[in-house]
Amino acid sequence: MIIITGGAGFIGSNLVNKLVSKSNYEIVSVDHNNEKNKHYFLNDNFKKILPEDLEIFIKNNNKKIIAIVHLGAITSTTEKNLDLIIKNNLELSIFLWSWCKKNNKRLIYASSAATYGDGSNLFDDREDDQYLSKLNPLNLYGWSKQIFDRLINKKKEQPPQIVGLKFFNVYGPNENHKGNMKSIVLKIHQTISKGMDVKLFKSHNENYKDGEQLRDFIYVKDVVSIIEWFIENPKLNGLFNVGTGVPRSFNDIAKAVFSNSNKREKITYIDTPIEIRNQYQYFTKANIKKLRGSGYLKDFFSLEDGIKDYIIKNLIK
């Protein structure tokens, strides 16, 4: 049995679909939105439970459980409620880590590239606390992931497998519920589908032209492939970046979406809102040497191929 918290979310639902389609394990999705987002699932060949029932469920199914993939969290980078962040992003993570350690179960969990802050300390998935202590997340979401990474990294006793995955900018199917946190790919597609001009943020950094801010965008199918690979390799442990290692611009994304939507390019540039300007990242690039060195050698979708697959297969019906 493999338990996936946040199983009805963006990455979680894609992982559930992949594992159900090819895994011999019983799959369990833990999510308040299992029914609300049921259209995300390809079939019902898995078990659904509510988060409040998780503790009792894992206690009663201890012998069946092989691993927990912990993806459930408040992922909004603009969330200001500290108590809510602590309860959902820290307390649950600490409980699952403690339970897995005590019961000799494997744990794969979602960290985030948001832990790197403005990138001034680079984007290296190092685990030594001297490096981790230098990172300065720009929001509470990133802070919560950083605290958990550091907290468990200092512990001598660990679950038999403990893997933290620092997701960069993920896009792909099943993100419609994410509101303002959905990917720029989906936002642009929805905008041009309405016949409206695409609006990208102006650059307020002299080193970047308008729309040329760079991020490491990774297709969700690649993310799922990496998670699946760690499930299949139980001896691997540590923090790992999950990105392509190839930063691309917002202009590149807009052009790819226009191309696959058969629409003429119409882009205007607007000021970055004052309230997020100090938190805005102009450059992210995953260092994936550790991931490659650990044996994950599969090619990633290029930005153009990922957007084409996303739009043609999932958004244009």
Spatial contact of 172 and 108, defined as CB atoms under 8 Å apart:
no
Tell me the residue length of the chain. Answer: 317
Q: Locate 27 and state its tokens.
A: 């799959």
Per-residue pLDDT of the chain (317 residues; tens, 9 = 90+): 999 999 999 999 999 999 999 878 899 999 999 999 999 999 999 999 999 999 999 999 999 999 999 999 998 888 889 999 999 899 999 999 999 999 999 999 999 999 999 999 999 999 999 999 999 999 999 999 999 999 998 888 999 999 999 999 999 999 999 998 999 999 999 999 999 999 999 999 999 999 999 999 999 999 999 999 999 999 999 999 999 999 999 999 999 999 999 888 999 999 999 988 887 889 999 999 999 999 999 999 999 999 999 999 887 54
Could you tell me the pTM of the whole model?
0.95
Q: Locate 257 and state its tokens.
A: 């979406």
Q: Encode the chain in three state secondary structure.
A: CEEEECCCCHHHHHHHHHHHHHCCCCEEEECCCCCCCHHHCCCCCCEEECHHHHHHHHHHCCCCCCEEEECCCCCCCCCCCHHHHHHHHHHHHHHHHHHHHHHCCEEEEEEEHHHHCCCCCCCCCCCCHHHHCCCCCCCHHHHHHHHHHHHHHCCCCCCCCEEEEEECEEECCCCHHHHHHCCHHHHHHHHHHCCCCEEEECCCCCCCCCCCCEECEEEHHHHHHHHHHHHHCCCCCEEEEECCCCCEEHHHHHHHHHHHHCCCCCEEEECCCHHHHCCCCCECCCCCHHHHHCCCCCCCCCHHHHHHHHHHHHHCC
**Residues with active-site annotation:** 141, 178
Residue 163's closest CA among 203, 112, 106? Answer: 106
Q: Give the pLDDT score at 317.
A: 46
Cβ within 8 Å of residue 148, ≥6 positions away: 89, 90, 93, 94, 109, 111, 164
